[in-house]
Chains A and B, each alone.
Chain A
Amino acid sequence: AQSVTQLGSHVSVSEGALVLLRCNYSSSVPPYLFWYVQYPNQGLQLLLKYTSAATLVKGINGFEAEFKKSETSFHLTKPSAHMSDAAEYFCAVSRWGAQKLVFGQGTRLTINP
């Protein structure tokens, strides 16, 4: 079985500061890992994905994530937060070769001016 744990249901940073959203996964098989963003009253949008290629993955809007097998982590970072980054972020895992996604509980990111 696969699962995802997102550390911190709410993260608050100042505009221009580093954004770090934490995600740890559990998987008995090689995983695919994803970060999605959800703006209020909208569906989920894919930020980036890891599918066993490069361990450092760059996504949209300046976000990136690093797959660390030894730590079973896939933390999301952005060097400088922007007000438009305020949203809910979800980490998800999928079994290699399958489409089914298992999501974490989400982290709400707030940006302070």
Chain B
Amino acid sequence: EAGVAQSPRYKIIEKRQSVAFWCNPISGHATLYWYQQILGQGPKLLIQFQNNGVVDDSQLPKDRFSAERLKGVDSTLKIQPAKLEDSAVYLCASSLKESSGGAKSYNEQFFGPGTRLTVL
């Protein structure tokens, strides 16, 4: 079974430029997540999709970050314009659909290799 795919793996841009990241989740996974991992910190959830709808985007800086998942499969995350503090690894993860509750209903998140963004 193929894992979560992300591209590009590395990206270097100058501040105020735009950048986009792409994620292809595991086939059949309805839920997709984007995380930001700043060096020396744990991943922080930016946005969560279920199919093509947004479940949680409470920590997404909406003035510069946007994400979409138009057909409920692939997703893109965009930053426009980038700031120095956006330098981080952007991780995509996917899982079966959001659990409806119950002790054994947690669905494991599978992570992609990430995109390392450097903003100069």
Contacts and interface: CB of A to CB of B under 8 A. Distances in A.
Interface of A: 4, 9, 32, 41-46, 49, 51-53, 90, 92, 94, 96-106
Nearest to B38: A105
A100 B56 contact: yes
B41 A106 contact: yes
Given A99-B48, A103-B42, A45 B111 contact: yes
B112 A43 contact: yes
B88 interface: no
Contact of B95 (A44, A49, A99): A99
Interface in B94-120: 95, 98-109, 111-114
Contact of A53 (B33, B104, B111): B104
A98 B105 CA distance: 9
Nearest to A53: B103
**Chain A interface secondary structure, helix, strand, loop or mixed?**
loop
How many chain B residues sit at the interface, stated as a range, is: 20 to 34
Contact of B91 (A9, A44, A52): A44
Contacts of B4: 43
Query: Which of B4, B42, B56, B100 gathers most chain A CB within 10 Å?
Result: B42
A21 B75 CA distance: 35
A23 to B, nearest CB: 11
A66 B40 CA distance: 26
Contacts of A92: 42
B111 A43 contact: yes
Contacts of B104: 51, 53
A103 B44 contact: yes
Given A49-B108, A97-B99, A99-B33, 16 more contacts: A4-B42, A9-B40, A41-B114, A43-B112, A43-B114, A51-B103, A51-B104, A53-B104, A92-B42, A94-B106, A97-B101, A97-B102, A98-B99, A101-B45, A104-B42, A105-B40
